[in-house]
Structure 1
Amino acid sequence: MSTIKFLFPVLAFIVLGCEQKKDDKQFEQKVLDEIFVEVVNSTYRDKRLYTCFPDLGKDIYDEFGEWIKKDTTGQHKRDLDCELKREAFKKDTLNLVIAVGNDGLINDSTEVQKYNTKKFIFKHLSELPKDIEFRNWERKYDKFAGAVYLSTIKFNSIKESGILSVDYACGGKCGLSYNVYIKKVNDKWIISKVQHTATW
């Protein structure tokens, strides 16, 4: 009998703890749904701009195979062509494809398409085989703009403000990191501050 008396409060504590975790997760999901697009819009950097560089001339070697220099013939035109391409990318701001990594509350069962807007089309990063340079994404989607990873949201004790980290990857060792601060104003969650924390 004493064992039952001991187990009952323990089990009750476990059940209540599980319910609390479930409620916390549902609350966080609701907030994420509300701010997701704005977080992306406030932090994304179009991969196409970060990885658009002018073509360089061919290498010139001497008769012994020793490198001499780059052939700069026509380099001015190549530089100009690249700049025109970059300017076109800056104006091309609709239907940008963003791959979303499985971090925080995002997983393969998350319906990321529910966040789609005229500006962004969201896809699961797991849709295509892993490729650190994202070549497969570039081949499939002309407007692939990069991959984003969002952490869980850490709230203050009264759940009226919070912070999450956001990482953008544009391929290889190319990426950006941010801390995004959010707060509740008039029953709506807004971004109060975006802090750039790293370029890698």
Structure 2
Amino acid sequence: MTTKQTFIIISIFLFLISCDKKQTDLEFERSVANEIFPALLDSVFYDTRLTPPPPPPPPPNSEWSDSTAIKWDESKMIADYEKRKAELEKDTTILVIAIVDSTYRIDKRAKKELIDFYKDFAIELDTISIEKPYKINLTDLKHADKFKLKYRSELPATSKVWKGDYDFHLSGITGFSRIQFDKSKNYGVLKSSFGCGSLCGFSALVFIRKVKGKWIIDKVMVTGIS
């Protein structure tokens, strides 16, 4: 075998190893996203059927000064709220959550926040590229029995999605980004969002870490709200 042939074979071998590593990295990331999803959905979900009691109104013909001086009997509202909450906990209606079909991109801010959030551990960012989104497989996402998942693309585009005449209750739209890990792959951050109406929703950074072999959510930091 000539030197040239040997070089070609070695190059092909190294290329295949590189491809396998990239695939392995993506599979690892997807497994983490799938593992954390039930806790993520529980963290961002907001049931629009349960409206919290409103804040007390300002006193008539007066300026805002000391809100503690406002006399406001909210006992009935709180009682009604707790009653409705108890009813919904027993309700067997399946709540449909629309999942954005593919992962979001993650920005530089998220990477900086990851380092800042876990600064006590002096972590370093993993340099594996996470620019390219991937298609989310709904069958891989575990969730509570009260939820049913649909792809966002199955529903009307833009704000028309909230005006659709469905034979189910659309309870929200959510999604998540690629995960930025640290080099040890014990810490990470992803972006997520939850929409509950045309002017109802929020976006957040979700900080995760591995504890005794299991991934947990450390904090959901809201970055935008409407």
What is the deviation of 1:23? 0.7
Please give the per-residue CA displacement for 1:123-155, whole angstroms capped at 9, x wherever unaligned: 22222332423235563323x211001111111
Contact 1:133 1:170 in 2 (8 A): no
Alignment of 1:169-184 (within 5 A): 169-184=195-210
Could you tell me how far apart the structure 2 residues matched to 1:190 and 1:44 are? 17
Could you tell me how far apart the structure 2 residues matched to 1:179 and 1:33 are? 17
- AA matched with 1:188: K
1:147 alignment counterpart: 173
Please give the per-residue CA displacement for 1:86-116, whole angstroms capped at 9, x wherever unaligned: x74785255322111112276365426x524
Alignment of 1:185-196 (within 5 A): 185-196=211-222
1:145–1:89: structure 2 CA closer, same or farther, 3 Å change rule?
farther
1:120 alignment counterpart: 147
Secondary structure in structure 2 of the residue aligned to 1:181 = strand
Contact 2:206 2:217 in 1 (8 A): yes
Secondary structure in structure 2 of the residue aligned to 1:134 = helix
RMSD (Å) for aligned C-alpha atoms: 3.3
Alignment of 1:82-97 (within 5 A): 88=84, 91-93=87-89, 95-97=94-96
Give the gaps of 5 or more residues in structure 1.
51-83
1:10 alignment counterpart: 11
Give the gaps of 5 or more residues in structure 2.
52-79, 104-132
Could you tell me how far apart the structure 2 residues matched to 1:120 and 1:155 are? 29
What is the deviation of 1:49? 5.6
1:40 alignment counterpart: 41
Contact 1:35 1:189 in 2 (8 A): yes
Please give the per-residue CA displacement for 1:135-193, whole angstroms capped at 9, x wherever unaligned: 35563323x21100111111110111111110112343542001111111111111111
Please give the per-residue CA displacement for 1:49-86, whole angstroms capped at 9, x wherever unaligned: 68xxxxxxxxxxxxxxxxxxxxxxxxxxxxxxxxx79x
1:90–1:139: structure 2 CA closer, same or farther, 3 Å change rule?
farther
> How many pairs were matched up?
169
Higher RCO (CA < 8 A, seq sep 6+): 2
Contact 1:98 1:123 in 2 (8 A): yes
- AA matched with 1:97: V
Percent of aligned pairs sharing the same letter: 29
Could you tell me how far apart the structure 1 residues matched to 2:28 and 2:9 are? 28
1:107 aligns with 2:135: yes
Give the TM-score normalised by structure 2: 0.62
Contact 2:208 2:215 in 1 (8 A): yes
Give the TM-score normalised by structure 1: 0.69
Contact 1:128 1:136 in 2 (8 A): no
